[in-house]
Structure 1
Amino acid sequence: MNHFPPLRLLVTFEALSRHGSMRDAAARLNVTQPAVSQAIKALEDYIGVRLIDRSVRPSRMTEEGELLARAVREGLGRISATLEDIRAMQTDADRQITVACTLGVATYWLMPRLSGFYDRHPEITVNVQAPASDLPVLSPGVDIALRYGTGGWREGINGKLFDEIVCPVGSPDLVARLMEDGVDLDTAPLIHVRNPHNQHWAGWEDYLAVKGITRPRSSGQSFNNYVQAMQAVIDGRGLMLGWRSITERAVLEGTLTEWPNGTHDLGTAYYVSTGVDPSKDALLFTQWLREEAT
């Protein structure tokens, strides 16, 4: 930065390169033509190269001048855009909320409904985060967390949003074929969601144990998130242990079918958590969430 020329010289040079003449640049900057000429000369002396070829009429940029003009134009453009972003952030800071939830809930429960909130409150921007740990928390910058479990979190204000139910699901064709062939869950093709960060979620092993069904743990195809697994299920590659929050819409639309008499209540639910002093916009969003949940 010790060799960086004064910013006013670069601004004058950028104006000259953009408008093409000393007169137009002076008018744009609201200064005199001699002031522009002096600034360009000072910049040339500072850098040690000629930026303007004055041996021709009209004068024109040298090769070095063209290189600098592009760099200055890009740099000043970035500064201008950043300033606009900062102003926008300052203006809209109190009209934004950030929601943390799992990737599955974000994709299949929250996002398909979010347009309804925007219809009611177009002035509020909702930022959605899906942490890799699959354990949303009320960290700094997060206004609302949608969390799965049995409750009992100590931080923030927590309230139940809806009970969570599990049930095996598959494509309608696959479920119909398995039922027709007399195939039960002890031999049906299974799709697992396995991830070191989501050990708090029940899996096929837990569900089958409750149902008194024994089969090898390693049987079936595995994915590390519900979005990938859901697509494989829709493609008819196997049955997935469906969580109602993730699969309900697909079942209602007929994309997936629940396994007959397969539902089970694990005693868990989804909760909405806010800080102890939530903003007005966070309260509006929480109220909307409760309406959607019912």
Structure 2
Amino acid sequence: MDWDKLRIFHAVADAGSLTHAGDRLHLSQSAVSRQVRALEEQLNATLFHRHARGLILTEQGELLFDATRAMIKRLDTATARIRDSEEEAFGELRVTTTTGFGSLWLVPRLSALYNKYPELKIDLMLEERVLNLPMREADVAIRMKEPSQADLIRKRLMSVRMCLFASRTYLARCSVPPSLENLAEHRLICQNPSSAQVGAGAALVQELMGHDVPSVLTVNNYFGVMQGVLSNLGIGVLPDYLAQDFHDLIRIMPEVESSEVPVFLAYPEELRHSKRIAAFRDFVQDEIIAYRKQLREQ
């Protein structure tokens, strides 16, 4: 299939107008129209509904537009990677991590990375599902366990433990339970035991549930748990790193905590020399160093 025709079709579909597409491509409206009609004839399909206000994709046009959009994205990514051997890091970097760590620890620190590399385009994918890095579902991952996929460069960043937290307002109203036996006097806020989460956190939640807590709020990610705690709804199970950035969160009962959860950064072997990967890796390591220093000073 003629790439020029596909490129012109994509521009028309994106602009919704032959004229606007022609302006982008530096072609006349008639030239654009001829290419679109030729593509429709080649496919034996109508790609656009034509009306006075512009063009609307048909069902067949939507299918083709999805394909050309994916093709152009892949080409843009390939172009960025080819140029990635230059001195500065730029272009798209697809980062995957968990919803909790990504939204509560990583995102608040990204300004340092953007300040140093303003031309980076971070595509942050927050989900509990482990994306396949060798199959290029993402460029780099931060995960709460050592990745098992082959052909990955991996580095242990830090360790996390799940702990009990309450808000300052809640503690001013309700006393800290002196032992786990008194937890039944409070509402427990935690991740749903059936939701995807680190095993250490799930084990701690199961232990706490064993104390016959009558009132429970479960959420499918730590961001929701934190919002419940900050809304003074009860005592929450949250990662220990939140204490540094969210000063209204107070850790209670320090003897109650999960086993250690390792945090790893990983990326494919083939991206070993990528400037974008190096920029992100160094940024994360610098932030971890600063985080540990602040912990020592507290």
TM-score bracket for this pair, using the shorter chain length: 0.5 to 0.7
CA distance in 2, matches of 1:115, 1:172: 28
TM-score of the superposed pair, with normalisation by structure 2: 0.63
2:164, 2:252 within 8 Å by CA — same for their partners in 1?
yes
Cα drift, residue 220 of structure 1: 1.3
Q: Hey, what does 1:70 align to over in structure 2? A: 53
> Counterpart amino acid of 2:228?
A
For structure 2, list consecutive stretches of 5 or more residues without a partner in the other structure: 1-7, 20-26, 38-49, 59-64, 85-90, 290-298
Residues 202/188 of structure 1: CA separation in 2 closer, same or farther (3 Å cut) = farther
Q: Hey, what does 1:289 align to over in structure 2? A: 284
1:173 paired with 2:173, answer: no
> Counterpart amino acid of 1:178?
C
Aligned length: 233
Selected match of 1:264 from 251, 257, 261: 257
1:234 paired with 2:196, answer: no
CA distance in 1, matches of 2:214, 2:175: 23
Q: Percent identity?
A: 20
Residues 167/275 of structure 1: CA separation in 2 closer, same or farther (3 Å cut) = same
Cα drift, residue 140 of structure 1: 1.6
> Counterpart amino acid of 2:252?
W
> Counterpart amino acid of 1:70?
R
Residues 107-256 of structure 1 aligned to structure 2 (within 5 Å): 107-133=103-129, 135-138=130-133, 139-149=135-145, 151=146, 153-155=148-150, 156-179=152-175, 184-194=182-192, 196-203=194-201, 206=204, 209=207, 214-216=210-212, 219-245=215-241, 247-251=242-246, 254-256=247-249
Cα drift, residue 98 of structure 1: 0.7
Residues 197/190 of structure 1: CA separation in 2 closer, same or farther (3 Å cut) = closer
2:99, 2:126 within 8 Å by CA — same for their partners in 1?
yes
Question: Per-residue displacement from partner, 1:92-133 (whole Å, max 9, x unpaired)?
Answer: 565221110001111111110001100011122111001253
Q: Hey, what does 1:104 align to over in structure 2? A: 100
TM-score of the superposed pair, with normalisation by structure 1: 0.63
CA distance in 2, matches of 1:127, 1:268: 25
SS of alignment partner, residue 96 of structure 1: strand
Question: Per-residue displacement from partner, 1:3-42 (whole Å, max 9, x unpaired)?
Answer: xxxx9xx9xx966xxxxxxxxxxxx959xxxxx9xx9xxx
CA distance in 2, matches of 1:14, 1:142: 35
Residues 86-97 of structure 1 aligned to structure 2 (within 5 Å): 92=80, 94=84, 95-97=91-93
> Counterpart amino acid of 2:283?
W
Question: Per-residue displacement from partner, 1:81-102 (whole Å, max 9, x unpaired)?
Answer: x7xx768667656522111000
CA distance in 2, matches of 1:68, 1:152: 53
CA distance in 1, matches of 2:203, 2:214: 10
> Counterpart amino acid of 2:259?
L
Residues 269-284 of structure 1 aligned to structure 2 (within 5 Å): 269-278=262-271, 279-284=274-279
1:136, 1:146 within 8 Å by CA — same for their partners in 2?
no
Question: Per-residue displacement from partner, 1:53-107 (whole Å, max 9, x unpaired)?
Answer: xxxxxxxxxxxxxx734234999xxx9xx7xx76866765652211100011111
> Counterpart amino acid of 1:258?
R
Residues 127/180 of structure 1: CA separation in 2 closer, same or farther (3 Å cut) = closer
Residues 261/144 of structure 1: CA separation in 2 closer, same or farther (3 Å cut) = same
Question: Per-residue displacement from partner, 1:205-249 (whole Å, max 9, x unpaired)?
Answer: 52674x9x951277511111222221111000011111024x234
Residues 290/222 of structure 1: CA separation in 2 closer, same or farther (3 Å cut) = same
